[in-house]
Every structure is written in C-alpha cells, then in structure tokens.
Chains A and B, each alone.
Chain A
Amino acid sequence: MRLLIAATCLAFLAQGQSSRPVAGRIRIEKTASGPVRFAPAEIVAWAGDQIHWFNDTGELHEPGILKKDGAFVAFLEEPVAVHATSAVFSPLARIDKGKKQIAFTIPYFCRLHPGEKGIIQVIPTP
C-alpha cells in the first residue's frame, strides 16, 4: 500500500507544475460553445486544504457527489450564488489501516447541471 501511495504521489509530481497541489478557487464559467464548466475541471489539493467556487454565471450551481444509494450530497450548505463565491469545502483526509494518509479522488458534478463535472484529487497532507 505504501508503495502504491508513493507511486500515486510521484505520478502527480511527474506531471509537472500544473499538478502540484493548488488549492483555492474553481471558476464556474460558460464555455465558448455554451455549456457551463468547472475551471479547472481537475485540481489537486492536500487533505485539509480550502476549496471554493466562484460562480461567474447567471445561474445557481451546486457541486456535490452521489452516494452508492444514489442520493446526492452537496459539498456546501448553500448552492453557489449567482456571480458570487461559495463557502469553503475542505476535504477530510482518508487513512489506511496503518493510519497513514492515502491519496484519493472525488469526482463531482453540479446537481443543477449534471453535465458539469470536476475532479478533486486529494493527496496526503505533508
């Protein structure tokens, strides 16, 4: 497992500067062709980092995940207001049986715009 974690981390690092953990703001914006997207669609964050969304559109957005039973769980207590920033989502670390942090991904989407998808890659806090 530890080798797997190390390999995962090195794989992120090998992708260069853009894949370094850069927590912070995800923009919700309209594309030139019309649909709305999360930009960047994929971010890398350390467990415990603060992530928020800036909604640059005229509609509400509500990022979250689906549980195994199909229920939607929003990251935030309120949808992201129009032309405003959201509250904070802070991914909690996951640990293995040896209580070591492990890397994992959170694929997410907007409940109000199901085609709007993103990924948060969470890596262990150094």
Chain B
Amino acid sequence: MSQPNSDTPSRRQWLTQIAATVSGATLAGALPAAESPEPADAAATCPARGGVPEIGGTLPEIAEIASGPDRVLRATITVDDEVRSVWMFRNNPENPFQLNPPVCREGHPMRYFAGAPTGGKRVWPVAKGVPAPGPTLRARVGDTVQITLLNHVDAKSFPNTLDLAEQGKSTGCDVSTTLLGDPGQEERQQVYPMADVEPDCFHGSSTANLHFHGFHISPGTIGDNVLVQVRPSPRDPKTNQPLITEATVRKSFQEVFDMCGHGHNPRKWEDMPRAWRDTQDQLLKAYDAQVPIAKLWEANQKAIAAGEWPQYHIGGYASCFRITPEKMPLGADGETVTMAQSPGTFWYHSHKHGSTALNSLNGMAGAFIVEGDYDDKLRAFYAPQKLEEKVLVLQQYGPGLNLQTTPAPNASRQGTQQGQLVFVNGLVEPVLKMRPGQVQLWRVLNACHQAGVAITAITPATAQALAAAGKGAAGSATFQWKQTAQDGIQLSWGNFSAESNRNPRVMLSPANRADFLVQAPSAPGIYEVQADVMPTIPGVPFAPLMIVQVEGEPVQTALGFPARQQDFPTLPSSLKDIDPATTHLRRQLTFDTLSFRGNGQPGQGQALGRAGYPGMRPSLHTIDGEQFQNNRINHVVLQDTCEEWLLINTTRIPQVPPPLMPPPPAGTPPRPADAPPPISPLLAFAHPFHIHVNPFQVVEIFDPITMDEPKVYEKDFVWYDTIGIPPAYNYYPNGKPRLDREGKQTWVNGYVRFRSRFADFSGLFVLHCHILAHEDRGMMQLVQVVPAKTVAEHYH
C-alpha cells in the first residue's frame, strides 16, 4: 500500500474544502465521486461518504440540550448504532518514533448517544457514519434534570456475547478466536477471554445505563445508579424498528418526573407507575421465555421482595435528580444538604461493568455543564468582549478493544498503545478560531477510555498545521492561559492567582476535566495546542491536540485575567477545605497490576500489551489483591462523616532509569521554582482512581518518578473526582537508584492521600480505575454509605 503524501497541495485543498463544512449537516454524498480529486490511496480518500478530514476540520460545536425557563432539563438520550468510519492510528514497525498519517477504517458497527429535547426533534448527531461525543447537556445548580434513556441498539449488529451466556453456551465473557499455525495446519486459538472470568471480563456491550460523573446526587433508584442494566428494546419483526420509544414511555416517565420534581423520588419499585412496572414485567418475562437461563424477571422479583431496586430493565430508563443547591432540603424533618454541587464541567457516560471501555471507545460520553456563580462571575468580568466558551471533549474511538483482537506481529506500538489518536469533538486536530487578544473559556473533558492527555504548551504552527488550517501564517507571539477549575470545581483564589498557574502544564487522566481561561496573542497567526498522550514510550512524538487560528478583528478591550479576588468566582462555602480534625476514619487501598511474562508466569513482560501473543497473558488488575466480586460490599461508610484515604499504587514500571521524558521543545521557558512537578510520562502504570457521588480533596501526593519526597499540601486543597495514582519506581528523578537499608535497589510505591465527606446521600455505588478496561476487568469496588442516624429513640 502506498503511503499518502500528506503535503500534496491538491489533497490539502480538498481537505480544507470539506473541512469547512464538516460541522454542519450530514455530509453523505456531499462530494460527488466524479468531482473528488481522490489520490490513489485508500487512506487519502477515506471516509469517502463522511468527508471527515484526516486532520484540520473546523472544530465542531456539539449540539446542546439545556434547561428551559422552568429550570428543568428534559433530554432524551438514545443509545443507537450504525456502521461508522473512524481514523485510526497507524503502526510504524520500522520506526516507532515517527508519526505516521492515520488510516481510515470503514464498515464497523459502533454504538453512540443521540440526543433530543424530550418530545422534540433529535439535535445530535448531525453527521452520519462518523464517531462523535454525545450531545452536551447544560443546566444550572438547583435545576431538575429529567433524562429519558432509550436503548435502541440493534444487538444483531454486534458479536453475540451475553446472550450466549444466558443460553448456557459461554462463560459470560465476550469470546474471540483466531487460527494459529502454518497454512494447512491451523488450529483454533482463543484470543479472549483467556484467563478472564465473569463478571470481570468484557461482556454485555449492548446493555446500557448512565453515569453522571462528578455529580453529588443520590446513587440510588433513578439517580446516579450505575448498577441498573437496561437491555435493548425489542424490535418489530417486520420493520426491525425498536418498540420502546420516547412516545411509548412518555406518560409513565412523566409521572416519575413529576414525583421527582416534587422532591419525592421513588424509594422502592412499588413507587414507580403501575403501567411502567407492568410493561417491564411483560418485557422481562418475554425475554426470559426466549432465554430461560437468564431469569432476569426472577432476579428482579427477588430484589423487589427484599426492598431493593431491581437491576434489570428493558428498552428504557428514567433518571431524575435535582442538581444539589446549597441548603437543599433532605427529607421532611428540616435537614438540608451539607455539600452543594459545584458549578462546572461534568459529564455523563455509559457505565455497564464489562463494557464501559468498549462503549466509551465507541464514543458514548458527553459533557454536562452545570452553571452557577462561577459562570456569572466570569461572564461579568468579560462582559466587554462577551466570554466565548468552548466545550472540548477528548475521546479515543475504535470499534474493538485490543485484547479482543489478534495483535499485529512485529508491531512495536500495539497492545495498550494501539489507536492512541485523540479526537476533539470528533475530529483529529480540529481548528479552533480566536480573535486577536480574545479570552475564551475552554472546558476540556478527557473522555478517553484509557489515554491520559497532558496539555503542555501552545506553540507556533508547523507547516502541516498551516496547511490544515488553510490560510494564514504561523504565529510568533505567545498565548497566556490559566486553569480555573479541576474536575468541575473551581480553584481557590490562592491557587488561581499563584505563579505556578501561569501557562501551566495540566495532566488530565482519563475522566479528568480542567477549565482554562485562554488568551490569544494580539496579532493574527496559527498555533498548535501541544499535548502528551499517555501511555507512551518516552520520546515518541504525538500530534498536536488542536490547531488555533487567531484571525479577524482584535477584541476592543483586552482584559487579561482576573487580578483581584473580587473579580474571581467565590468557592461555594460548602466546598472549603475539610478540617482534618473532623476525620472519622482512615482507610488504605492498594492498586496493583500484575503482568505476566511470555511463559505465563508473573513478571514484567517484554513490552506493553500482548507483544508475546499467544504466550503472554493479559495483565491482572486488582484492588487490595482482589478483583471486583458480585454481591460483595468492600467499604461501608457512615454518611456525613469525613474520612482520609491513602491510595497506593504498587504497579511497577519497567526497570528503566531516568530520564523517562523527552527533552522539552526548544524555546520552552524555564520552569518557575514553585511550579508543580513535571508530568510523569509513564501513566500506563498509573491508575486513575474515581469514586462516585462525592469529590475529594487531595492533601498529599508522591510520584517516585518525578519527586524525591512526597508533596504535602497544607491549605487551598484542590478538589478532584478522579486522580492518577503514580506507580512504583526504583530510581530517584536524578537517576540515582533508590536503595533500601541494606543497600539493595528497591521499589518505592506512588501514592495519593485525600479527604472526603460522604455527605448527604446514603446508598450503594462504586469506586474504580478510570482506565476503563481495568474497571471492566476487575479494578472496581462497591461502597455502601449508611445513614449515621436512626429513628430509634430511648427517652420514652
């Protein structure tokens, strides 16, 4: 296959032409084949039907569904599927340190989130056949959120897994096989599940649910309940159209939403509308009649009889909650919440254990913006130029996970490093436009299923970016930016105004968000947003995340950034530093990945992933030495108490001495003395810890790769809901081996210490690694928050 010439002018012109229209309506057939200056190369013309450029399309604006004047967000999210084309990373076995143009892969069925205002027309996606995030949801603190989830996946489009198990014909895990051996002497070889066993294996990828990531809401019933499983709607045998639709659920769901709107969420299944319960009974019984071993209805009945919420649903699900405001009433006895939802950048995504990684890789995630005082204050400050906001959703896309496919032999960048293209709002290296001197608010969401993305610099454009942008010259001035929020919670004034927050490098582990105020230079020009994508091999370059084109009329009033505390949003009072004296309990959790050598024995393999296939077993991911188990609660926490948790990562990175990072680009200014430690490049071995319902304040962190000693924070703690736990390492940053008391080189674990209040909401939820394949394969635990009070009294 010939290599595309990425500098061919005619090709660039063609890409630019189609890029100009990519964010609009469906492009299918927009470019007649006869008019297409198609080079004789598959990658260069692909996808012929979608017209999405290899790089450089205009940054798509994702359609939004927002609260109405009555302060209710009514959205219908439909899980759908279609055959899609996707740009994918191209291996370069001869030189792993060289960037190759991506290749377009066509014809893959993929699932996606479509969105509509409930009762209205679908507003997203607008382009067919190409992956994209789900629609952006937008509401304000205190608003009520009413989500109608419909599962319209056509299970026939995807390999059968779960249903085979329910017929007693497999282990419950996805199964893939290949033929191994010389021609004429092949034998069948299992590719997956190998050593994985249910429930900690890839499975059930057509089952849906929703996680509202970062929301401080109830984890139960119709709140942030990721324990429910919504099977695809049955389909009309004649038309193949789904039978459960927005119209068929509308009446029942409206009754649920009305209850919720009055502050009376259902506590048990009997509180749900009778008609909906009857419908679900019928659907589950019909399913069980087809698949007798499944017994979903029976499982539900058992749960209902025990006073628990049933787990299995078919076709649709109603989610409803109020975005927790300060002093929101809890119950009828006058109690109010102790912790409000912060306004900020949050998100929603699929969270079916066993298929979170694959569904995420298909694109099933979207931003959820919660507005409040944060937005009011920033908009007021920038009123003279009107603060423009960009929601930037970073995703990796693909039709299948690497463990479920045979690896390419002799490919040096395979396994977990395969397919590391990071898309922004569905495009590779899109072009974002700014006016000279303009300040924009960038809300960056790392929705990648496994890649960490470190935003490192904004630099003058290279020739390739110039060609992709279509016009203009490389910029020569410098951008200015400041981080304003982490994981949806604004920084304190002290952290925002610190010198270390001047053009900071910010690491976004999978699931992290960061908001930035970004100011363009005063002169036109084209720039690139540089990023490190992890896991990676030190020294391997990565394509820029975005191209920034500074053009047009300069803003009238260049405002810079808020320099006075009164101009910066005030941290909600319930999100001030947690007093360590209130700590009720301390816990310690140990995260570990056990790798296997080519002979199947524990030990560090020759390379990441499955380079030794079929001899190399997939790695084993555990918390406290165990994988996730059904029906087992790992942590019981008293509601409204503060706990301090120590998260340890004993995963060892290969015994490679420093430096582990490539040298910074020429011209990079020296780091300020009080700047945070440099970002570790080997986050393949870090585990991004995430816990539902309650954010936490990091009080101490130790990354043996970049730190001699732990960093302890005394005040102005930063809130997170996800943080990468650094791995173990056996060298100091200066290259000196770390030694034990006997003088032998020793491994030192990375760790994170945090404090959290398990405030306001009791119930069952999960913590897990947000490298989602790790979660699917067992790196997850159940947390039960129980009320700290009883109704029993003893004075009578």
Q: Enumerate chain A interface residues (CB-CB to B < 8 A).
A: 6, 9-10, 13, 17, 20-25, 46-50, 52, 54, 65, 67-68, 73-78, 81, 84-95, 99, 101, 104, 106, 123-126
- Give min CB distance, B70 to chain A, whole Å: 44
Q: Give every chain B residue within 8 A of A126 (Cβ-Cβ).
A: 1, 43, 90-91, 103
B interface secondary structure, majority: loop
**Residue among A13, A75, A78, A89 facing the most chain B CB atoms (10 A cut-off):** A89
- Give min CB distance, B95 to chain A, whole Å: 14
In the complex, per-residue mask of B163-183: 1 if CB is within 8 Å of any chain A CB, else 0: 110010110001111111001
Within B166-223, the residues touching A (CB, 8 Å) are 167, 169-170, 174-180, 183-192
Compute how far the CA of A125 lies from the CA of B442 in the bound complex, rounded to whole angstroms: 37
Determine whether B410 belongs to the interface, using a CB cutoff of 8 Å to chain A: yes
Q: Give every chain A residue within 8 A of B83 (Cβ-Cβ).
A: 24
Contact A23 B107 (CB under 8 A): yes
Contact B175 A87 (CB under 8 A): yes
18 A-B residue pairings within 8 Å (CB atoms): A10-B1, A13-B42, A20-B107, A23-B107, A24-B108, A25-B157, A68-B185, A75-B188, A84-B160, A85-B155, A86-B159, A86-B160, A88-B177, A88-B404, A90-B191, A92-B178, A93-B406, A95-B410
Asked, given contacts A78-B164, A78-B169, A126-B43, whether A87 binds B174 with beta carbons under 8 Å apart, the answer is: yes
Determine whether B121 belongs to the interface, using a CB cutoff of 8 Å to chain A: no
Within B24-60, the residues touching A (CB, 8 Å) are 40-43, 46, 48
Identify B188's interface contact among A48, A74, A99, CB under 8 A.
Answer: A74
Within B319-348, the residues touching A (CB, 8 Å) are none
Q: Give every chain B residue within 8 A of A21 (Cβ-Cβ).
A: 105-107
Residue of B nearest to A27 (CB): B156
Q: Give every chain B residue within 8 A of A104 (Cβ-Cβ).
A: 183
Residue of A nearest to B1 (CB): A9
Compute how far the CA of A59 lies from the CA of B46 in the bound complex, rounded to whole angstroms: 38
Residue of B nearest to A76 (CB): B177
Question: Besides A87-B175, A87-B176, A126-B1, 17 other CB < 8 A contacts?
Answer: A9-B1, A13-B42, A20-B42, A24-B108, A50-B159, A78-B169, A81-B167, A85-B156, A85-B159, A87-B164, A87-B174, A88-B175, A90-B178, A91-B179, A94-B183, A124-B1, A125-B91
Q: Give every chain B residue within 8 A of A73 (Cβ-Cβ).
A: 179, 186-188
Contact A85 B158 (CB under 8 A): yes
Contact A77 B409 (CB under 8 A): no
Contact A91 B107 (CB under 8 A): no
**Residue among B48, B178, B190, B404 facing the most chain A CB atoms (10 A cut-off):** B178
Q: Which 4 A-B pairs have the closest CB atoms?
A: A22-B107, A88-B176, A68-B184, A87-B175
Compute how far the CA of A50 lies from the CA of B180 in the bound complex, rounded to whole angstroms: 16
Compute how far the CA of A47 lies from the CA of B43 in the bound complex, rounded to whole angstroms: 17
Q: Give every chain A residue within 8 A of B183 (Cβ-Cβ).
A: 94, 104
- Give min CB distance, A92 to chain B, whole Å: 4
Residue of A nearest to B399 (CB): A50
Q: Give every chain B residue within 8 A of A87 (Cβ-Cβ).
A: 159-161, 164, 170, 174-177
Contact A24 B176 (CB under 8 A): no
- Give min CB distance, B440 to chain A, whole Å: 36
Contact A52 B160 (CB under 8 A): yes
Contact A95 B406 (CB under 8 A): no
Identify B406's interface contact among A20, A86, A90, CB under 8 A.
Answer: A90
Determine whether B126 belongs to the interface, using a CB cutoff of 8 Å to chain A: no
Q: Enumerate chain B interface residues (CB-CB to A < 8 A).
A: 1-2, 40-43, 46, 48, 83, 90-91, 93, 103, 105-109, 155-161, 163-164, 167, 169-170, 174-180, 183-192, 399-400, 404-411
Contact B159 A65 (CB under 8 A): no
Contact B159 A52 (CB under 8 A): yes
Compute how far the CA of A48 lies from the CA of B185 in the bound complex, rounded to whole angstroms: 20
Residue of B nearest to A13 (CB): B42
Compute how far the CA of A23 lies from the CA of B410 in the bound complex, rounded to whole angstroms: 22
Residue of B nearest to A49 (CB): B405
Q: Give every chain A residue within 8 A of B40 (Cβ-Cβ).
A: 13
Compute how far the CA of A94 lies from the CA of B186 in the bound complex, rounded to whole angstroms: 12
Contact A50 B400 (CB under 8 A): yes
- Give min CB distance, A72 to chain B, whole Å: 10
- Give min CB distance, B32 to chain A, whole Å: 14
Residue of B nearest to A54 (CB): B156
Q: Give every chain B residue within 8 A of A89 (Cβ-Cβ).
A: 176-178
Contact B178 A91 (CB under 8 A): yes
Asked, given contacts A21-B107, A95-B410, whether A90 binds B405 with beta carbons under 8 Å apart, the answer is: yes
Q: Give every chain B residue within 8 A of A81 (Cβ-Cβ).
A: 160, 164, 167, 169
Q: Give every chain B residue within 8 A of A99 (Cβ-Cβ).
A: 93, 409-410
Contact A20 B188 (CB under 8 A): no
Identify B175's interface contact among A77, A93, A95, CB under 8 A.
Answer: A77
Contact A48 B186 (CB under 8 A): no
Contact A106 B179 (CB under 8 A): yes
Compute how far the CA of A88 lies from the CA of B189 in the bound complex, rounded to whole angstroms: 12
- Give min CB distance, B759 to chain A, whole Å: 44
Compute how far the CA of A124 lies from the CA of B42 in the bound complex, rounded to whole angstroms: 13
Q: Give every chain A residue within 8 A of B105 (Cβ-Cβ).
A: 21, 23, 46
Identify A77's interface contact among B156, B158, B180, B190, CB under 8 A.
Answer: B190
- Give min CB distance, A19 to chain B, whole Å: 10
- Give min CB distance, A22 to chain B, whole Å: 3
Contact A48 B407 (CB under 8 A): yes
Compute how far the CA of A41 lies from the CA of B83 in the bound complex, rounded to whole angstroms: 19
Asked, given contacts A24-B107, A126-B1, A126-B90, whether A77 binds B177 with beta carbons under 8 Å apart, the answer is: yes
Contact B185 A47 (CB under 8 A): no
Residue of B nearest to A124 (CB): B1
Contact A6 B1 (CB under 8 A): yes
Q: Give every chain A residue within 8 A of B187 (Cβ-Cβ).
A: 73
Residue of A nearest to B169 (CB): A78
Compute how far the CA of A65 lies from the CA of B186 in the bound complex, rounded to whole angstroms: 9
- Give min CB distance, B645 to chain A, whole Å: 39
- Give min CB distance, B444 to chain A, whole Å: 30
Contact A92 B174 (CB under 8 A): no
Q: Give every chain A residue within 8 A of B191 (Cβ-Cβ).
A: 88, 90
Contact B179 A125 (CB under 8 A): no
Asked, given contacts A106-B179, A126-B103, whether A24 binds B409 with beta carbons under 8 Å apart, the answer is: no
- Give min CB distance, B285 to chain A, whole Å: 19
Compute how far the CA of A16 lies from the CA of B161 in the bound complex, rounded to whole angstroms: 34
Q: Give every chain A residue within 8 A of B48 (Cβ-Cβ).
A: 17
Compute how far the CA of A44 lies from the CA of B184 in the bound complex, rounded to whole angstroms: 20
Q: Give every chain A residue within 8 A of B41 (Cβ-Cβ).
A: 13
- Give min CB distance, B564 to chain A, whole Å: 54
**Residue among A20, A65, A87, A95 facing the most chain B CB atoms (10 A cut-off):** A87
**Residue among B40, B93, B169, B176 facing the most chain A CB atoms (10 A cut-off):** B176
Q: Give every chain A residue within 8 A of B160 (Cβ-Cβ).
A: 52, 81, 84-87
**Residue among B167, B174, B188 facing the most chain A CB atoms (10 A cut-off):** B188
Q: Give every chain B residue within 8 A of A125 (Cβ-Cβ).
A: 91, 408, 411
- Give min CB distance, A113 to chain B, whole Å: 19
Contact B156 A24 (CB under 8 A): no
Q: Give every chain B residue within 8 A of A92 (Cβ-Cβ).
A: 178-180, 189, 406
- Give min CB distance, B139 to chain A, whole Å: 38
Residue of B nearest to A103 (CB): B1
- Give min CB distance, A47 to chain B, whole Å: 6
Residue of B nearest to A89 (CB): B177
**Residue among B167, B177, B399, B405 facing the most chain A CB atoms (10 A cut-off):** B405
Compute how far the CA of A87 lies from the CA of B406 in the bound complex, rounded to whole angstroms: 14
Q: Give every chain A residue within 8 A of B189 (Cβ-Cβ).
A: 92
Compute how far the CA of A22 lies from the CA of B192 in the bound complex, rounded to whole angstroms: 22
Contact B177 A47 (CB under 8 A): no
- Give min CB distance, A51 to chain B, whole Å: 9
Compute how far the CA of A74 lies from the CA of B188 in the bound complex, rounded to whole angstroms: 7
Residue of B nearest to A75 (CB): B177
Compute how far the CA of A74 lies from the CA of B41 in the bound complex, rounded to whole angstroms: 35
Contact A24 B178 (CB under 8 A): no
Q: Give every chain B residue within 8 A of A77 (Cβ-Cβ).
A: 170, 175, 177, 188, 190
Q: Give every chain A residue within 8 A of B174 (Cβ-Cβ).
A: 87-88
- Give min CB distance, A66 to chain B, whole Å: 9
